[in-house]
Amino acid sequence: MQRKIDIANRLREVLLSGHWIANINFKENIDGLTWKQATTSVEGLNSIALLTFHINYYLAGLLHVFHGGSLDIRDKYSFDMPPIQSDEDWSRLRNDFLANAEAFASWVENMPDSMLDDPFTDPKYGNYQRNIEGVIEHSYYHLGQLTLIRKMVLARHTN
């Protein structure tokens, strides 16, 4: 039982409320940004909104599987973000991300512990634990990018 709790806590650390490894998380990085800041691309890098969409794409797709659905997400679509053209659009994406992040962590926290070792949809994808830990690793990878991009965007918007 402790294993799933530890994994859920790691998800919350990177996505919502933690400071253990990176001393920052996604939520803190996306809070307080305007839609123009969130959609600014500096020197050809991804925007904060696009990275938020990208991680949320995987959270939503895996949540669909967790609730009995098929694995429909594909890497080639993971950056196909609809246009963000207002604070309402940005707020919708941000809120969807935060809701999916909490739902994902809660699902992991409440899943049967033995399920962590079960094959994830198809044995070629490994087990549930491997896929959930992959979300954590993938999120930290993009969190580093997002943190640097945020610093550049805020410097640009305040000068």
Q: Is the confidence at residue 158, as pLDDT, over 60? A: yes
Q: Is the confidence at residue 159, as pLDDT, over 60? A: no
pLDDT at 20: 66
pLDDT at 79: 95
In the chain the domains, ranked by start, together with CATH numbers, are 2-158 (1.20.120.450)
The token pair that represents 45 in the structure block: 């890098």
Tell me which long-range contacts 43-47 makes (C-beta under 8 A, separation of at least 24). 43/152, 45/145, 45/149, 45/152, 46/79, 46/145, 46/149, 47/149
